[in-house]
Structure 1
């Protein structure tokens, strides 16, 4: 029974016993026929032949997800041959699935972030707007200044206790994931924006007894994260920044990336972000690589200064 016939038998089984859709069967057929074309005797292939084939498709530029799909089809094919007594082993058993690349986080440039903060400050200081709009603008200014200064998760930001604004200190303790406390910095601009917001907050009777810095008439008692995300996109649009480009999480990424670009240590950024594992913070290694390239190009005596 040759490979082509065994592929047909496998596809018949997938259709009859597993109820695989026609599109799925067509996809399986393409993957198996491609493997057979490159390996030769697919049904009798050894592990090394399959490993070489996977290396070949990686070299052809297939994404990690496509490589993983092709390996998955081969695993099912050899599992079928084993169950049918057509093979006594599974040559894919010791093969590792290709690791999927983690997408790089969206970030804003320092110039864009500066424009966003300047716009928030301008709107917060505009006394010509109505009362409700002025309150919202002061709140937004405090939110974005604190977020960019600290890199807090949005859930940590909107639920900040009022006591944070009552102390004029450069650091405060925030409780993050897993109920773990960490110390985060607070810039002078962020403290000033919080004090201005606190002045406006005290004028709203409904907020007087709230223990939250950013109270709201919500189930949690504080500003919902969805409301902040929506208002942030509005601020971005008024700044001339595409709304789709920004979110509270993007500002958190900007905080981390800009620190690294300006010389911060990856371990320090890990602590500031509240990442339990350094591997989570390593999505920013591309920033470090760019910084190291600039360092070498700018300061190494053999660097090409004209490029």
Structure 2
């Protein structure tokens, strides 16, 4: 699956990975016999039919991968865009999708790289192309795996440098202008360190104010975790709850979609006069991780807080001051 660093910024409104129950959508492929599925996939590849090829890819991702039906809509949007870009390239360059020439995938990657896309975006496009070919193999349409040996571009600039944590001045400026719901959303990111999908899925039943914590029921990889609540976040939640008549099963945020939450915070940044500093949701998680590391100096504890399985992932979320060793080195014997 794509990492968060590879995710494109907010999806265009016309690209929607699904509009109904995902299992119902993919059943049109999974209910076919092996031969019928193969024929349908071969026909879609021959005609370079984007709708069919994406449907096939979605069916594969949903039914035959470890994430399955719980693959996030954000990840699916990135895959959907990548399949679209590949199909457009194949149409323009007379690709035989089922049997691409040996050098064509490398040329495709070079085309993406020279078009000005960032390395992370190119990697996301390659991941989507690889998913399409896994789906075609799953359907029995081809044995081709053209992107297996393609050289991936490397980004020498660390993610924490390209997209550093928000600064305290930015967070405070946003909080000063935020309405109750916006304040809760911002603090779920910047104090609780939640992913945007986790924040949008949070229900009132997931909160335990007396214990000063919340429970993420379905984090990345379907892992649950407990997250402590800061005093500011508890205060914001109380203020927001007092404005609403909500049941425990109700979601905390009225906002439902990634795009609507993005637009809401973008407009808030404009009101606060810090629109040029707004960089989406992930810089908020990095803000939380960086604050916690500054207090604990323990990547393992920060990893648990952010819901990372690997500490190496956490290192990409924490901004460590370059001069934090000066006092220690000063007293070497």
Name the SS of the counterpart of 1:294 in structure 2: coil
The residue number in structure 1 matching 2:310 is 277
Mapped pair 1:103 → 2:135:
no
In structure 2, what is the equivalent of residue 128 of structure 1?
A: none
The counterpart of 2:199, out of the listed 153, 157, 164, is 157
Aligned: 1:189 with 2:232 = yes
Give the structure, 1 or 2, with the largest relative contact order (CA under 8 Å, sep 6 or more): 2
Over 3 Å counting, the alpha-carbon distance change for 1:154 and 1:19 in structure 2 is closer
Q: Pick from 182, 186, 203: which aligns with 1:144?
A: 186
1:166 Cα deviation (Å)? 6.3
Query: Is 1:288 aligned to 2:320, yes or no?
Result: yes
Q: Where in structure 2 are the equivalents of 1:232-243 lying within 5 Å?
A: 232-243=265-276
Q: CA deviation at 1:271?
A: 0.7
Find the aligned partners of 1:172 and 1:20 in 2 and give their Cα distance: 51
- 2:281 alignment counterpart: 248
* Distance 1:180-1:119 versus aligned 2 partners, 3 A rule: same
Equivalent pairs counted in the alignment come to 189
Change (3 A) 1:284 1:211: closer
1:124 corresponding residue in structure 2: none
Asked whether the 8 Å contact 2:193–2:289 carries over to 1, the reply is yes
Once the two structures are superposed, residues 66-117 of structure 1 have per-residue CA deviations (whole angstroms, 9 ceiling, x without a partner) of xxxxxxxxxxxxxxxxxxxxxxxxxxxxxx9896434333321122222222
* Counterpart contact for 2:203–2:248, Cα < 8 Å: no
Aligned CA distance change for structure 1 residues 103 and 229 (closer, same or farther; 3 Å):
same
Distance of 1:97 and 1:208 partners within structure 2: 49
Gap change, CA 1:300 and 1:196, over 3 Å in 2:
same
Is 1:300–2:330 an aligned residue pair? yes
Say if 1:181 and 1:300 are closer, same or farther in 2 by CA, change over 3 A: same
Equivalents in 1 of 2:165, 2:221: separation in Å?
Answer: 26
Structure 1 residue 249: deviation in Å?
Answer: 1.5
Please, which of 258, 274, 278 is the counterpart of residue 291 of structure 2?
Answer: 258
1-structure distance, mates of 2:102, 2:299 = 50
How far off its partner does 1:300 sit?
2.0
Question: Within 5 A, what are the aligned runs for 1:70-219?
Answer: 100-101=155-156, 102-104=158-160, 105-120=163-178, 137-165=179-207, 167-175=209-217, 176-202=219-245, 211-215=250-254
Whether the 8 Å CA contact 1:165–1:213 is kept in 2: the answer is no
DSSP 3-state at the match of 1:168? helix
Rounded Cα–Cα distance in structure 2 between residues aligned with 1:214 and 1:97: 39
Structure with higher Rg: it is 1
How far apart, CA to CA, are the structure 2 residues paired with 1:106 and 1:171? 26
In structure 2, how many angstroms separate the alpha carbons of the residues matched to 1:114 and 1:257?
Answer: 16
Alpha-carbon shift at residue 159 of structure 1 (Å): 0.9
Superposed displacement of residue 265, structure 1: 1.2
Provide TM-score, normalisation by structure 2: 0.49
How far apart are 1:241 and its partner, in Å?
Answer: 1.0
